[in-house]
């Protein structure tokens, strides 16, 4: 679906939260690297899509009412064959029905398992004073506790992108720490600039979260994405 169709559907359903699949579609069109993700509306389709994509795959609950997918038991990673996909599908549905009995469920998203990398996050929100602001930080549990993040106002200049990556305390982790693979910093700078551009061009977006992005020596890819639209855009 293109942007127009996605916005129209959200509007029809009076829904400000875009699904993971919709969010990734918009981001991919903007040249932001995301894991290819498809929607399966049945168990059979989930298995067929998994075979098409190639194992191992990840299955995630696809529902406009489930914001935190893993909290709802809605994420199954590292599925190696059709049988595992079928089982994961059932488990996800059972768990989500239990935790969100009223949720509308579209099905599941199917995507390839990305190889592990340094986890980073990019976010965008609107400050009442400054307007759209980008956030950058390291992903993972530790960072959720330490809140080691940096901010810059949109639109970002290349220099802002450079600085905001180097500003975080965990920067040495990106340079490769104790034998860990380093992250491609110029690629991340480029990603920040693209997200800034995307936010600027799409004022109907209220919030954006790429969490996590896996960063590698040779690039980076967002494995999860969440976009929230302005209320006025879906009225």
Peptide bond just before 130 cis, omega within 30 deg? no
Given the DSSP bridges, would you call strands 107-112 and 75-79 parallel, antiparallel or unpaired? unpaired
* Sole binder of ligand ADP in the list 107, 123, 137, 212 (CB under 6 A): 212
Residues between 160 and 219 with contacts to Mg ion, criterion CB under 5 A: 211
18: buried, middle or exposed (CB in 10 Å: 19+, 13-18, 0-12)?
Answer: buried
Separation of CA 3 from chain center: 17
* Sole binder of ligand ADP in the list 77, 103, 149, 233 (CB under 6 A): 77
Beta carbon of residue 78, minimum distance to ligand ADP (angstroms, whole number) = 8
Does 224 engage in binding with ligand ADP (CB under 6 A)?
A: yes
Does 224 engage in binding with Mg ion (CB under 5 A)?
A: yes
Cβ of 100: how many Cβ atoms within 10 Å?
Answer: 18
Q: List own/partner pairs for 65-70 with CB under 8 A and 24 or more apart.
A: 65/100, 65/102, 65/103, 65/104, 66/96, 66/100, 66/103, 67/17, 67/226, 69/20, 69/224
Nearer to Mg ion, 22 or 224 (CB): 224
x-or-dash pattern for ligand ADP, window 112-131, by CB under 6 A?
-xx-----------------
Separation of CA 132 from chain center: 18
Does 75 engage in binding with ligand ADP (CB under 6 A)?
A: yes
Beta carbon of residue 74, minimum distance to ligand ADP (angstroms, whole number) = 7
Cβ of 93: how many Cβ atoms within 10 Å?
Answer: 17
Contact of residue 68 among ligand ADP, Mg ion, none (CB under 5-8 Å per partner type): ligand ADP
* Sole binder of ligand ADP in the list 24, 40, 46, 69 (CB under 6 A): 69
Residue ranges in contact with ligand ADP by CB under 6 A: 35, 58, 60, 68-70, 75, 77, 111, 113-114, 212, 223-224
């Amino acid at each position: 679906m293109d942007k127009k169709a996605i916005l129209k559907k959200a509007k029809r359903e009076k829904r400000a939260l875009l699904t993971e699949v919709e969010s990734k579609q918009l981001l991919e069109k903007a040249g932001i690297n995301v894991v290819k993700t498809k929607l399966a509306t049945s168990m059979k389709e989930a298995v067929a899509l998994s075979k098409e994509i190639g194992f191992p795959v990840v299955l995630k609950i696809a529902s406009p009412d489930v914001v935190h997918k893993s909290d709802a038991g809605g994420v199954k990673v590292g599925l190696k064959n059709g049988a595992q996909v079928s089982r994961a599908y059932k488990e996800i549905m059972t768990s989500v029905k239990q935790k969100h009995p009223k949720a509308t469920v579209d099905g599941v998203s199917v995507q390839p398992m990305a190889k592990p990398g340094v986890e980073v996050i990019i976010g965008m929100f609107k400050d009442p004073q400054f307007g759209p602001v980008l956030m950058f930080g390291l992903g993972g549990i530790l960072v959720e506790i330490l809140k080691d993040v940096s901010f810059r106002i949109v639109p970002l200049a290349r220099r802002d992108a450079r600085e905001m990556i180097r500003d975080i305390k965990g920067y040495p982790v990106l340079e490769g720490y104790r034998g860990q693979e380093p992250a491609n910093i110029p690629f991340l700078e480029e990603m920040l600039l693209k997200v800034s551009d995307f936010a600027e061009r799409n004022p109907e977006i209220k919030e954006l979260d790429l969490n996590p992005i896996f960063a590698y020596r040779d690039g980076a890819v967002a494995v999860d994405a969440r976009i929230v639209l302005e209320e006025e855009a879906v009225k």
